[in-house]
């Protein structure tokens, strides 16, 4: 091969400083067990920390580092859960609260989807809908509570309307962005194949925008729970909010914490459900398709 050098560099190769070689061969060898060890360590540290915090919490209460009235230990909270289940309060409260959240979410998501499609697909829709919604969305929905009480009273309407109002925006924004994000080249290509604008919208744009729409829906589900907590502060006579208000009157910190944990668990469950929905309705996404 040496004889085939035909180029004539300015300095002969022999005089040029030799390139610095770096040894990379060791890096690939033995990565398999090392990666497995790293995963194991990660798992341990990830589970260890929450358990350590729980233990610290228990010890702090037992040794009276904090007043058990202010922060009762985990064991007492478990008893509070048992009490709520024994009396049947929890079993009746969860469906009530969940129903409020889901009804508000359902109507809010539907409105957000309809407005998002309207603004995303038609220019006139964008002109009519987008500016007012962009303005309205800057209002923190919690600030609307006093107004909603005046308009809708302190019954179920005010609560559900608050959840409804809060969940429109995430769905609207993501639907609009998703529809607008569909590649123009794709739309152009299917136009050649004789699809009408309505067929393009339904068969091409909406399915392609679905990942974004579902992100909006998942976000709205989280918001619906947030709005539920805020709404249930309005004179709740049933639901988890009622348990909390009652416990507040009787200074039952353990029940208050139990109620907060229930809210958190609902949040986790709703998020899981949404992930399953995404997984089922988006089989074509590359991250979900086995290569």
User: Footprint of other proteins on this chain (CB under 8 A)?
Assistant: 183, 185-186, 188-195, 203-204, 207-208, 210, 283-286, 289, 291
Those residues with Cβ within 8 angstroms of residue 116's Cβ, 6 or more apart along the chain or in another chain: 171, 172, 173, 174, 175, 176, 178, 179, 213, 216
Measured distance CA(244)–CA(234) in Å, rounded? 12
Measured distance CA(283)–CA(285) in Å, rounded? 6
Q: Which is nearer to other proteins, 58 or 281 (CB)?
A: 281
> Least CB distance from residue 176 to other proteins, whole Å?
18
Among the listed residues 284, 237, 226, the one whose alpha carbon sits nearest the alpha carbon of residue 260: 226
Cβ neighbours of 101 (radius 10 Å): 27
> Least CB distance from residue 178 to other proteins, whole Å?
12
Helix axes 240-249, 253-281, angle to 10 degrees: 160
Q: Which is nearer to other proteins, 175 or 253 (CB)?
A: 175
- Residue in the structure block whose two tokens are 């589900």: 221
Cβ neighbours of 102 (radius 10 Å): 16
> Least CB distance from residue 194 to other proteins, whole Å?
5
> Least CB distance from residue 115 to other proteins, whole Å?
22
Compute the C-alpha angle 252/99/153, nearest 5°.
75
DSSP character at residue 65: S
Q: Which is nearer to other proteins, 23 or 183 (CB)?
A: 183
Q: Which is nearer to other proteins, 173 or 200 (CB)?
A: 200
Q: Which is nearer to other proteins, 151 or 284 (CB)?
A: 284
Compute CA distances 165 → 5, 112, 114, 148, whole Å.
75, 10, 14, 10
Q: Which is nearer to other proteins, 38 or 186 (CB)?
A: 186
> Least CB distance from residue 246 to other proteins, whole Å?
49
Measured distance CA(37)–CA(29) in Å, rounded? 15
Q: Which is nearer to other proteins, 158 or 200 (CB)?
A: 200
> Least CB distance from residue 212 to other proteins, whole Å?
12
> Least CB distance from residue 198 to other proteins, whole Å?
13
Compute the C-alpha angle 167/170/174, nearest 5°.
145
């Amino acid at each position: 091969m040496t004889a085939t050098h035909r180029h004539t560099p300015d300095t002969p190769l022999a005089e040029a400083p030799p390139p610095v070689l770096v040894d990379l061969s060791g890096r690939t060898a033995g990565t398999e067990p090392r990666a497995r060890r790293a995963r194991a360590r990660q798992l341990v540290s990830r589970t260890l920390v929450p358990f350590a915090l729980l233990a610290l919490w228990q010890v702090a209460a037992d040794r009276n580092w904090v007043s058990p009235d202010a922060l009762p230990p985990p064991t007492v909270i478990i008893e509070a859960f048992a009490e709520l289940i024994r009396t049947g309060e929890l079993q009746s409260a969860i469906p009530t609260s969940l129903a409020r959240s889901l009804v508000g979410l359902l109507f809010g998501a539907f409105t957000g989807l309809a407005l998002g499609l309207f603004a995303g697909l038609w220019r006139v829709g964008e002109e009519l809908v987008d500016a007012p919604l962009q303005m309205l969305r800057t209002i923190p929905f919690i600030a609307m509570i006093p107004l909603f009480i005046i308009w809708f009273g302190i019954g179920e309407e005010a609560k559900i309307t608050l959840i409804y109002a809060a969940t429109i925006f995430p769905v609207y924004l993501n639907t609009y962005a998703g529809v607008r994000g569909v590649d123009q080249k794709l739309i152009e290509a299917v136009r050649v194949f004789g699809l009408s604008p309505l067929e393009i919208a339904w068969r091409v744009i909406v399915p392609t925008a679905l990942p974004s729409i579902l992100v909006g829906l998942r976000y709205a589900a989280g918001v619906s729970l947030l709005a539920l907590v805020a709404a249930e502060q309005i004179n709740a006579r049933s639901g988890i909010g009622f348990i909390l208000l009652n416990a507040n009157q009787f200074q039952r910190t353990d029940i208050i914490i139990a109620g907060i944990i229930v809210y958190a668990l609902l949040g986790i469950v709703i998020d899981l459900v949404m992930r399953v929905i995404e997984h089922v309705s988006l089989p074509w996404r590359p991250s979900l398709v086995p290569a």
